[in-house]
Structure 1
Amino acid sequence: MKVFITGASGRLGSRIIPHLISRGHTVAGLVRSTEKAKKIEALGATALIGTTADQGLLRKGANENDAVIHCAMDHKDADLGSQMKGEREALDFFADVLEGSGKVLISANGTVAVQPGSDEHSQSAPIGPRAETEKAVLANAGFIPYVEGLNWSACNADDAALLFVLALETAEPGTIVHAVQEFPQLKAIAQVLGEKTKMDTKAITKEQAKDFGFFGILLQAHQDFSTSWTKKTFGWQPKGQLLLDEMKHADASFFKAV
């Protein structure tokens, strides 16, 4: 199968490419620069240089391939609303171009709006916005907040990338899968962030979390839902490094850069 990926040089896209190629697919990836083009070409993909705002490139990628995997999100704009708007516009454009073609469209999303105890089939619509938790946390000057007793959902990037490919190959139209490996406590995540950044951590209430804007929504979301259907249906068993282990072993400079 010929596959077009947006965000091809990113954390997820760059891991999807090797899985696709190892399973006999060919890949074209949308990247922003010549430097990033070289990165995905080294993985065996063909590069298209541009952004998701270039509808001509999006149309070319969709028309010349059998499937589209949309992983891109424009993080240059600090306003999350603008990021989400751009992502949604690109996704809607792909849907229009591919309508009636029988081609596959897969989009990355987040699990912040998944209700505790729910499963893959209880979701009637695409799930809430993606967010880079560490960046949002560190943007709150003074301390790293958390709400006691709540969990976050996490998955090793390489395991998540493999699930994209498994879904591409076998999922029915309209399928929602949960690429979740574990549910670490927010308190534990905050503590590791505090150790790495030399910042204090502080427990807050759900009511106080509302003062933190969009990140407050994340702080209030208790994530604990089923992934059993995803694992059983696709034979998917995540094996990669867990989030807290990865954070503990990451160089402190990473967190300072964030």
Structure 2
Amino acid sequence: MRVFVTGASGWIGSAVTHELIAHDHKVVGLARSDSSAAALAAAGATVHRGDLEDPDSLAVAAATADAVVHLAFKHDFDDFAAAGRTERAALLAMLGALEGTGRPFLFASGLASGQGGRLTEEQASPFEGPDSMRGGGENLALSYAERGVRPVAIRFAPTVHGVGDGGFTARLAAIAVERGAAGYVGEGTTSWAAVHRSDAARLVRLALDRAPAGSRMHAVGEEAIASRDIAAALGAHLGLPVVSVAPEAAAAHFGWIGHFFGSEASASNQITRETLGWAPTGPTLFEDIAAGVYPGR
């Protein structure tokens, strides 16, 4: 299968690219820079130069592929609304190119729901419209199940961990070193889901073959890890005390990540496991922390 992958050289996308190629798929990877293009070529992928700001180019690549895996996103926390509008335009371009073909369109989504409790695959996203979270992309894309596309939302855990991770957990480790203590917000009872990068990549490959049109799959290995336990694991590895940060001081202590770390982002993976025949086999988040994956610098 010829698969067009956006974000193909990124943290999750590069693992997905290797996973697909290892299972005899041909990957066409979107590359914005020369370094990304070189990395994709070295991995055995065909390079498609462009970026999310060029929807016409995205449409051309999608139209000539047997499937699309859309993992790129502009993580601009200074103007998240604009990032959402860019995402929506990119989705419309690629979905329009696939309309009526029955081809798979897998796309990255998140676990933020604002509904509280542990999110299940059956719960729809509450975000609608271009000015909502991620441009309301999940509901927009899934609506194309009625327009001759096989859209599948891949809801990634907030921490996709492993050697080389520069995401949320790496930032928390860096803040702990900067502050001289590993912190959590309030009582630390809110929870995050987590998944190892290798497990996430395998899930994407299985979803490409098996996930039904209009479904939501949870890339979640560990369903709920309390934030205070994450802080405790970081503190133990870094040799730092563990402290509670009052909710009203979270922004000052943690910066932009404070809101996310103090929010509930736990999720079930039961339906995903049953639908895809998938089970996580990679290291847990605590195993990666203990192994020194997050040195805090």
TM class by shorter-chain length? 0.7 to 0.9
CA contact (8 A) 1:112 1:218 kept: no
Residue of structure 1 in register with 2:274 after alignment = 232
Residue range with higher mean Cα deviation, 104-113 or 140-149: 140-149
Residue of structure 2 in register with 1:31 after alignment = 31
- After TM superposition, give the deviation of residue 84 of structure 1 in Å: 3.6
Residues 96-149 of structure 1: per-residue CA shift (max 9 Å, x gap): 332223222111122132642442112356796686424664579746541322
Residue of structure 2 in register with 1:179 after alignment = 219
For residue 79 of structure 1, what is the amino acid of its counterpart? Answer: D
Residue of structure 2 in register with 1:202 after alignment = 243
Residue of structure 2 in register with 1:133 after alignment = 168
Alignment of 1:2-81 (within 5 A): 2-75=2-75, 77=76, 79=78, 81=80
- After TM superposition, give the deviation of residue 204 of structure 1 in Å: 3.1
For residue 133 of structure 1, what is the amino acid of its counterpart? Answer: F
CA distance in 2, matches of 1:37, 1:193: 35
Unaligned runs of 5+ in 2: 135-155, 159-166
- After TM superposition, give the deviation of residue 48 of structure 1 in Å: 1.4
SS in 1 for 2:19: helix
Residue range with higher mean Cα deviation, 219-228 or 6-15: 219-228
For residue 39 of structure 1, what is the amino acid of its counterpart? Answer: A
- After TM superposition, give the deviation of residue 191 of structure 1 in Å: 3.7
TM-score normalised to the size of structure 2? 0.73
Residue of structure 2 in register with 1:146 after alignment = 184
- After TM superposition, give the deviation of residue 192 of structure 1 in Å: 4.3
TM-score normalised to the size of structure 1? 0.82
For residue 63 of structure 1, what is the amino acid of its counterpart? Answer: A
Alignment: residue pair count: 254
Residue of structure 2 in register with 1:107 after alignment = 107
Q: Label 1:16 to 1:150 Cα distance change in 2 as closer, same or farther (>3 A).
A: same
CA distance in 2, matches of 1:201, 1:111: 27
CA contact (8 A) 1:115 1:225 kept: no
Structure whose residues are more often strand by fraction: 2
CA distance in 2, matches of 1:244, 1:236: 21
For residue 230 of structure 2, what is the amino acid of its counterpart? Answer: I
CA distance in 2, matches of 1:26, 1:68: 12
Residue of structure 2 in register with 1:244 after alignment = 286
Residue of 212, 215, 219 corresponding to 2:261: 219
For residue 112 of structure 1, what is the amino acid of its counterpart? Answer: A
For residue 153 of structure 1, what is the amino acid of its counterpart? Answer: A
Unaligned runs of 5+ in 1: none
CA distance in 1, matches of 2:199, 2:170: 23
RMSD (CA atoms) = 3.1
- After TM superposition, give the deviation of residue 88 of structure 1 in Å: 3.2
CA distance in 2, matches of 1:191, 1:164: 31
Residues 156-203 of structure 1: per-residue CA shift (max 9 Å, x gap): 111111111111111111110111001322123224445677876531
Residue of structure 1 in register with 2:97 after alignment = 97
Q: Label 1:177 to 1:126 Cα distance change in 2 as closer, same or farther (>3 A).
A: farther
Residue range with higher mean Cα deviation, 106-115 or 62-71: 106-115
- After TM superposition, give the deviation of residue 19 of structure 1 in Å: 2.1
